[in-house]
Amino acid sequence: MPVEKKLSYYINESKKLNDSDFEKQIRIAVLGSFTLNGLAETIKVKCAELNVFSHTFSGGYNQYNEEILDPKSKLYSFSPEICFLVLDTKDILENLFYSPYSISDDERKKFIENKTIELANLIKFFVDKSQSKLIVTNFVPPTYSPYGIFESKTNYGLQEMIYDLNHKLLQEFKNNPLVYVFDFNGFVTTLGQNNIFDYRQYYFGDVRVSLEKIPYLANAFMSYVKPILGLSRKCIVLDLDNILWGGIIGEDGLNGIKLGHNDPIGKSFIEFQKYLLALHERGIILAVNSKNNFDDAIKVIKEHPNMILHEEHFACLKINWNDKVTNLREIAQEVNIGLDSMVFFDDDRMNRDFVRSTLPEVLTVEMPEDPSLYVPTLIGLNDFNVTKITEEDKQRGKMYLDQRRRTEFQKTTTDFKEYLKQLGIKVIIKNANEFTIPRISQLTLKTNQFNLTTKRYQEEDIRKFVEDQNKIVECAQIQDKFGDNGITSVYIINKENEQEWFIDTFLLSCRVIGRGVEEALLSQIIKKAKKEGVKKVKAQYIKTKKNKPAENFLSDFGFVRDSDTWIFETEKPVKKLEHMEIS
């Protein structure tokens, strides 16, 4: 976990922020059953560091019940998009915290059942009224028990009550896209209860997370803010020497580098690779950016018996003598992602400083000198979170390996049309349903380059659209002879009237841009409109810093501009793409 600045810094910096200085904005509320001074201000500053202005609301001291149950409260007039509800074990257990055995074990079970229902109803009431995302903390099992060591022999004892409550809370909201349970117990365990709880501050002002640790809690909460805003990162770029193994391969040779189970330093690198592989398996892209002789470095990757990561795990391998900035730019271009999707690991301070100053969009991690600290450094990053891990995420590593093969195959022909024809592209159009809605939402939140309007929609938004008879929500799965790209395209259409449709959202993942898929999908939309008697299909291109690849798409297709709207008369012919199959 990275070392945080003092709370006073965040409080002072929050006063300097002005919403007019930021393009992106969000509304975040903080409610709690105890004093949480400075938490909202720290979140505000951390959002500003991401170029997002956060309007914040701090609930009154232990007033969360009243604020949630009163539809006319300031909480609802604030209209949050994200709400954090921070609760404490003492408050939920009331007098039973100190005297749990004053009632029978059956009564204790009934008490927990009632508390679960009470808390669940409160949460459901809030999300129904506000449509805000709610992140509620779970409860820290007390280390104290009046029964001492006999606690573990007691039927449904104090600690078991809290474990049961946490389990019930997690199960209650596991499938609710608006509610997340934050592992507050895990947070306290990581930092240590004696560091989190200060009796002096508790007696002084009912402070149960010490003021020194409030910035750490805010940082943990940013794990939810980043993916909800679509600001998660998806690519880790790695140096090789002293990052994936100890030593310098060009000097130490295959047998001289440190990468083994019998050496503490070598074990550090093996463990680091295991964590990287775990991230890769859930959808994080891995790439290499190393100053090295290619043959020397690739030999380690291919042949060293203790390598965990192999060639097939990397979407791109830049092993050459170019500078790190040049390589990062080429990786972004070849993998077709933005620089702001990248996290860079390099042991050389000069390289890190060069990348930070030249490519500030890339998150360059300050690496410790001791490789045994690499794993906690990686775990401490909260930039890879997503609100839902889809099947496409799990298959992303293979998809990017397939993309590497496509690129290599393309180099074998100078005729691009012939290359597309030989790919054997299949476009499978699907309706939005329970299986595809999470992926559709994810694409609207993450896709920047080929995205006509960059409108962001949460899962609950997409569900509402699907229920609306005047909207069409569809997505497309793209396949070819090298593999399955998964669901990589989305469009949302508003049926404005019997004569006109308006394309609200039209986007493609960077993985499939430039193969004609975009033209094929737009052709399908227009054919469908024509079949239903629609005369005009309208669209907009809303320019952003990142969606330039979509800038000329509408005009090139044949749309005619009218003020800020583009119009296509359905009587006009549409492009035919013979190199792909659409179903």
Smallest Cα–Cα separation from 315: which of 405, 430, 247? 405
Roughly what angle, to the nearest 10 degrees, separates helices 105-130 and 158-173?
30
* Sheet hosting strand 82-86, strand order edge to edge: 52-58, 24-32, 82-86, 133-137, 179-182
Name beta bridge partners: 483: 480
- The predicted model gives 342-369 an average pLDDT of 96
pLDDT of residue 115: 96
Confidence of residue 510 (pLDDT cuts 50, 70, 90): confident
Residue type, 380: G
pLDDT of residue 538: 93
- The predicted model gives 312-316 an average pLDDT of 92
- The predicted model gives 148-167 an average pLDDT of 94
Residue 406 has pLDDT above 80, yes or no: no
Is this prediction's pTM over 0.85? no
Backbone conformation region of residue 530, classed left if phi is above 0, alpha if psi is from -120 to 50, else beta: alpha
Residue 407 has pLDDT above 90, yes or no: no
pLDDT of residue 394: 82
Residue 505 has pLDDT above 80, yes or no: yes
**pLDDT tens profile 171-181:** 999 989 899 99
pLDDT of residue 391: 79
Whether 181 contacts 172, CB under 8 Å: no
- The predicted model gives 314-323 an average pLDDT of 94
User: Residue 537: helix, strand or coil by DSSP?
Assistant: strand
CA 425 – CA 203 distance, rounded (Å): 67
CA 443 – CA 461 distance, rounded (Å): 13
Confidence of residue 190 (pLDDT cuts 50, 70, 90): very high
**pLDDT tens profile 47-56:** 999 999 999 9
- 251 vs 407: which has the higher pLDDT: 251
In 229-373, which residue ranges form alpha helices assigned H by DSSP? Answer: 249-252, 264-281, 294-303, 324-335, 349-358
Residue 412 has pLDDT above 80, yes or no: no
pLDDT of residue 16: 95
Confidence of residue 446 (pLDDT cuts 50, 70, 90): confident
Locus of tokens 């009934």? 110
CA 311 – CA 304 distance, rounded (Å): 12
Tokens of 25: 């904005």
Residue 14 has pLDDT above 90, yes or no: yes
**pLDDT tens profile 61-82:** 999 999 999 999 999 999 999 9
Residue 223 has pLDDT above 90, yes or no: yes
- The predicted model gives 288-306 an average pLDDT of 94
Residue 28 has pLDDT above 90, yes or no: yes
Whether 21 contacts 47, CB under 8 Å: no
Q: Kindly report the average pLDDT of the chain as a whole number.
A: 91
- The predicted model gives 25-31 an average pLDDT of 96
Residue 168 has pLDDT above 90, yes or no: yes
Of 27-31, 105-109, 230-234, 482-486, which range is least confident?
482-486
pLDDT of residue 114: 96
CA angle 191, 41, 180 (to 5 degrees): 60
Smallest Cα–Cα separation from 289: which of 350, 231, 343, 232? 343
CA 444 – CA 7 distance, rounded (Å): 35
Residue 581 has pLDDT above 80, yes or no: no
**pLDDT tens profile 127-147:** 999 989 999 999 999 988 899
Whether 66 contacts 12, CB under 8 Å: no
pLDDT of residue 545: 81
Tokens of 53: 């202005």
User: 206: exposed, middle or buried (C-beta count within 10 Å: 0-12, 13-18, 19+)?
Assistant: middle
- 520 vs 168: which has the higher pLDDT: 168
- The predicted model gives 274-300 an average pLDDT of 95
Q: Residues 45, 234, 239, 377: is their CA dihedral positive or negative?
A: positive
CA angle 366, 368, 369 (to 5 degrees): 130
pLDDT of residue 230: 86
User: 568: exposed, middle or buried (C-beta count within 10 Å: 0-12, 13-18, 19+)?
Assistant: buried
pLDDT of residue 129: 94
